[in-house]
Amino acid sequence: MSTTSIDSLLHEIRRFAPDPAFSAAAVAQPELYDRARADRLGFWAEQARALDWTTPFTETLDWSNPPVARWFGDGALNVAYNCLDRHVEAGNGDRVAIHWEGEPGDSRSITYAELTREVKKAANVLAGLGVGQGDRVAIYLPLIPEAVIAMLAVARLGAIHSVIFGGFSAESIRARVEDADAKLVITADGGWRKGKVFPLKHAVDTALAAAETSVEHVLVVRRGENDVEWDDARDLWWHEQMASASEEHEAQGFEAENPLFILYTSGTTGKPKGILHTSGGYLTQAAYTHRAVFDLKPETDVYWCTADVGWITGHSYVVYGPLANGATQVLYEGTPETPHPGRWWEIIEKYKVSIFYTAPTAIRSFMKAGREIPLAHDLSSLRLLGSVGEPINPEAWVWYREIIGGGTTPIVDTWWQTETGAIMISALPGVTTTKPGSAQVPIPGISVDVLDEDGSHVGLDSGGLLVVTEPWPSMLRGIWGDPERFAETYWSKFADAPNGPLYFAGDGAHLDVDGDVWLLGRVDDVMNVSGHRLSTMEIESALVSHPIVAEAAVVGASDETTGQAVVAYVILRSKKAKSVTAAEASQMLRAHVAEQIGAIARPREVFIVTELPKTRSGKIMRRLLRDIAEGREIGDTTTLTDTTVVTVIRETSR
Ligand code: WT7
C-alpha cells in the first residue's frame, strides 16, 4: 500500500439529479464550463465587466512574477459604489438590502437607498477622522447593520478593514490591531448573545491598554446599552458622529489591486496570518460565484447566509457578493437557539427565505436536537441550500435536504478558504448531479488538481493533496507584512510546475472514478494507520451514519503497533440511544465502523462524551482531542468556545 495515497474507503452511492424545471430557469447553464475552458482569461474578464469600473481594464492577468498576481491591474473601481449606488441609480433603491433581526426580537429592514445613504455618511465620518486610502481600520462589532455599513464605508475610502470576530478576546484584538497598525477601531458598547449583553468596548479598552499601536480613535456604536468607560480624547459615539455627517459622498475609483481587507486566520500553528485581499478580482469572483452557485434571482430571492462578518464567509457571502449583486438578504444577530431552538426556522418562515447557506456543524447540531423543531415551521420558501466550512457528512447532507429542503432543494457543498476569497469547488445547481459528501467540481474558471507528494497527478479513484493550478481573481495577494511566509506556506510545495508555482491548499482530497473531488480534511487531520492513510472525516461520517450517533470526532493517536490508531469521541442522540449503556454503544460503534469502511478503520477506542471542544468558528479542535487520546498535557485553548469541555472529556475518557 502506497504511503503517499490517501485511502478513501467510504462508498457513497446516492445521487441527486437536478430537477428539469430548476435547470431550465437556472442562472448557470452547462455552457458556462465550455466558455471558461475555451478562454479562461476572457471568461474572467467577462465576469469582471459585470461590475462598474471608473477606468476600464485592458489587462486581465499579470502572472509574470509569481506568486504576485495582478488581476485587471490597469482598471479602477470603487467597491462600495458597486455594492450600493449603482443599484440605486438603476432604479432599485427601494429594494430591501438587509432584513435585520436582533437577537432580542427587534428588527429593521434597510433598502438599498437607505444603506447607500448610511454608508455615505459613515464614509464622511471616517474621512473626518483622518481615514484615507491604505489606512487600516479594525472593526469589532456584533452582527448588526452597522458592521456592514462600517466595512463598506472603509472600502468606499480605499482604506483597508480588518474585521475581528466579536467572539474573540482582548488579546486577539491586541495582536490584530498591532499587526496591522490600525488607526481607528470601530466597536459597540455590547452585543446580544444567548439572551445576554456581552461587552465589546471593554475588550477593546483592555486590548488598546496593552497594545503598542497608533490607534487614534475608537468609534462606538450603541447596541447593548451596557455601561462603558469613556476616554474623552479617544472615544466617539457613532450615532453622534453620524447625526451631523453629510449625506453627500462621491465615490472615487481606486486601482483594482488596491487592498480591500485583511482577515486573520489561525492556521494550525504560529501566530495568525493576516490574509490580504484586494478589490477588483475579489469583488469579481465574490459576485460571480454568488450569482452562479446560489442561482441568485435578485428581484425575487431572499437570501440568508448565517455566517458572521468576522469570517471570510461573512465578507464574501454576506457583504460583498450579495450586495454587489443587489440581493435582498437576512442578517441575524444572535445564536440559533435563542430564545428557543427553532429561531432560525422561524426567521426563514418570517422572511420567506429562498436561499440558505450554513455550515455542517450547525446542521449536525440541528440533527441532534431533532427534526420536530424545523418541521414545526413552514420552510416551503426554500429552493436552494448551501454548505461551507468543512466536509459535510453524507448523513448530514441527506438530512439537510430532506428535513430543511423538503426533499427537493439542490444542495451546493462549497469548498473554499479564507485564502481563496470565494468559492472554488462546488456543484452548480441545475447542472450538476450531486453526490452527498462531495464538493465535486471546480466552478467554471477555476482549475484544481490532486497530486501526490512528488507533484504527480494521482489519477482517478485515488487520493492526495489538493492544489489550485491556475491563479484566480479572488486569490489572496499576500500575508500582511510577511511576503516570505506567504511564498513558503502556499507556493513552495509545488514550486517547480511548468507553468509557475501551484497553490497548495493544505487539504487532502480524493478524486473518484468520475473525477469528482471529495475533501478529506486538512492534511494534518489525516492519520496513518498501519501504512494506510485514513481520513478522520470518513470515519466520522461512518459513525454519524449509525442511528444512535449525533456527532463524532476522530483523531489519530500514536500507537505502538500500528503507528497511529483511530480514537473516536462520540455524542449520542438522547432518544435513540436511551436503552444502551456507554460500553455497549462503544462496542457497537467499533463494529459499525469496521463494517462501513473496513477493519483497518475500526477505532481502537470510542469514548461517549456529551460535548466536543470547538473553536469559535465551530471547527472541532482535533489537536486537543489528540492530546487527550495520547494522555498529554493539553495545548493552547485560547480559541476554544468552552474550555470546561476538555476537562469533562478527559474525565469521561479515563
Ligand atoms: C478550510 C478553510 C470557506 C469559508 C469557511 C472556512 C475546510 C471549507 C469546505 C467544504 C470540505 C471545507 C477546508 C479548507 N472547508 N469548506 N465545503 N468541504 N472542507 O474558511 O477557515 O479559511 O477554512 O475549511 O479544510 O481548507 P477557513
* CATH number of the domain bearing residue 111: 3.40.50.12780
Quick check: 467 and 414 in contact, CB under 8 A? no
Which of 76-80, 87-91, 479-483, 581-585 bottoms out in mean pLDDT, i.e. has the lowest?
A: 581-585
Of residues 645 and 381, which shows the higher confidence score? 381
Domain boundary among 391, 410, 432: 432
Probe ligand 1: pick from 268, 312, 397, 417, max atoms within 8 Å of CB?
417
425 Cα nearest atom in ligand 1: 17
pLDDT above 90 (res 11): no
Which of 90-99, 262-271, 449-458, 550-559 bottoms out in mean pLDDT, i.e. has the lowest?
A: 262-271
Residues near 581 by Cβ (< 8 Å), separated by ≥ 6?
A: none
Probe ligand 1: pick from 264, 519, 616, max atoms within 8 Å of CB?
519
Q: Which residues are 7's β-sheet partners?
A: 534
Structural domain of 592 = 530-653
Q: Whole-angstrom Cα distance, residue 464 to residue 91?
A: 50
pLDDT above 90 (res 32): yes
In a domain, 213, yes or no: yes
pLDDT at 637 (0 to 100) = 61
In a domain, 314, yes or no: yes
| Cβ of residue 441 lying under 6 Å from some atom of ligand 1 | no
**Which residue's alpha carbon is nearest to atom 27 within ligand 1?**
417
In a domain, 472, yes or no: no
pLDDT at 601 (0 to 100) = 84
Q: Whole-angstrom Cα distance, residue 632 to residue 355?
A: 44
Q: Are residues 536 and 409 in the same domain?
A: no
419 Cα nearest atom in ligand 1: 22
Model pLDDT for residues 130-162, shown as the tens digit of each residue? 999 999 999 999 999 999 999 999 999 999 999
φ, ψ (nearest 5 deg) of residue 525: -95, 5
Model pLDDT for residues 483-509, shown as the tens digit of each residue? 999 999 899 999 999 888 999 998 999
Strands, sheet with 503-511, edge to edge from the N-terminal-most edge strand: 448-451, 462-468, 503-511, 517-522
pLDDT at 3 (0 to 100) = 33
Q: Mean of the per-residue pLDDT values for the chain?
A: 91
| Cβ of residue 537 lying under 6 Å from some atom of ligand 1 | no
| Cβ of residue 418 lying under 6 Å from some atom of ligand 1 | yes
| Cβ of residue 474 lying under 6 Å from some atom of ligand 1 | no
Quick check: 603 and 539 in contact, CB under 8 A? yes
Model pLDDT for residues 294-344, shown as the tens digit of each residue? 999 999 999 999 999 999 999 999 999 999 999 999 999 999 999 999 999
Domain boundary among 405, 432, 459: 432
Quick check: 346 and 377 in contact, CB under 8 A? yes
Q: How many domains does the chain have?
A: 2
Q: Whole-angstrom Cα distance, residue 400 to residue 410?
A: 10
| Cβ of residue 265 lying under 6 Å from some atom of ligand 1 | yes
Instruction: List the Cα angle 241/244/246 in 5-degree steps.
Output: 110
**Which residue's alpha carbon is nearest to atom 8 within ligand 1?**
389
| Cβ of residue 308 lying under 6 Å from some atom of ligand 1 | no
- Mind spelling out the 3-state secondary structure of 70-112? EECCCCEECHHHHHCHHHHHHHHCCCEEEEEECCCCCEEEEEH
Domain boundary among 432, 454, 489: 432
> Stretch 545-565: mean pLDDT, rounded?
86
pLDDT at 267 (0 to 100) = 47
Per DSSP, the three-state class of 466 is: strand
> Stretch 418-442: mean pLDDT, rounded?
97
In a domain, 113, yes or no: yes
pLDDT above 60 (res 197): yes
> If you measure from the C-alpha of residue 305 to the centroid of ligand 1, how many angstroms do you get, rounded to a whole number?
15
Place of cell 502506497: 2
* CATH number of the domain bearing residue 578: 3.30.300.30
> If you measure from the C-alpha of residue 217 to the centroid of ligand 1, how many angstroms do you get, rounded to a whole number?
35
Per-residue pLDDT band for 542 (boundaries 50, 70, 90) equals confident
| Cβ of residue 615 lying under 6 Å from some atom of ligand 1 | no
pLDDT above 50 (res 237): yes
pLDDT above 50 (res 270): no
**Which residue's alpha carbon is nearest to atom 3 within ligand 1?**
417
Q: Are residues 24 and 131 in the same domain?
A: yes
In a domain, 419, yes or no: yes
| Cβ of residue 389 lying under 6 Å from some atom of ligand 1 | yes
φ, ψ (nearest 5 deg) of residue 116: -60, -45
> If you measure from the C-alpha of residue 474 to the centroid of ligand 1, how many angstroms do you get, rounded to a whole number?
15
pLDDT above 90 (res 532): no
In a domain, 466, yes or no: no
Which of 11-20, 27-36, 275-284, 509-518 bottoms out in mean pLDDT, i.e. has the lowest?
A: 11-20
**Which residue's alpha carbon is nearest to atom 13 within ligand 1?**
390
**Which residue's alpha carbon is nearest to atom 14 within ligand 1?**
417
Q: What is the DSSP string of 517-540?
A: EEEEEEGGGEEEETTEEEEHHHHH
| Cβ of residue 518 lying under 6 Å from some atom of ligand 1 | no
pLDDT above 90 (res 249): yes
Q: Are residues 425 and 536 in the same domain?
A: no
In a domain, 317, yes or no: yes
Q: Are residues 219 and 99 in the same domain?
A: yes
**Which residue's alpha carbon is nearest to atom 23 within ligand 1?**
417
Report which DSSP code applies to 599: G
Percent of the chain predicted with pLDDT > 90: 76
Q: Are residues 418 and 560 in the same domain?
A: no
Q: Are residues 223 and 113 in the same domain?
A: yes
Per DSSP, the three-state class of 571 is: strand
Model pLDDT for residues 609-637, shown as the tens digit of each residue? 988 988 877 788 888 898 888 887 666 66
> If you measure from the C-alpha of residue 237 to the centroid of ligand 1, how many angstroms do you get, rounded to a whole number?
37
Please check if 650 is assigned to a binding site.
no
Which of 189-198, 310-319, 357-366, 500-509 bottoms out in mean pLDDT, i.e. has the lowest?
A: 357-366
pLDDT above 50 (res 71): yes
Q: Whole-angstrom Cα distance, residue 589 to residue 63?
A: 51
Per DSSP, the three-state class of 400 is: helix
Rg (the chain; Cα; Å)? 24
In a domain, 497, yes or no: no
pLDDT above 60 (res 555): yes
Model pLDDT for residues 448-469, shown as the tens digit of each residue? 999 999 999 999 999 999 999 9
Complex ipTM value: 0.99
Total-model pTM: 0.85
**Which residue's alpha carbon is nearest to atom 1 within ligand 1?**
417
Q: What is the DSSP string of 294-346?
A: TT--TTT-EEEE---TTSHHHIIIIIIHHHHTT-EEEEE-S-TTSSSTTHHHH
pLDDT above 60 (res 31): yes
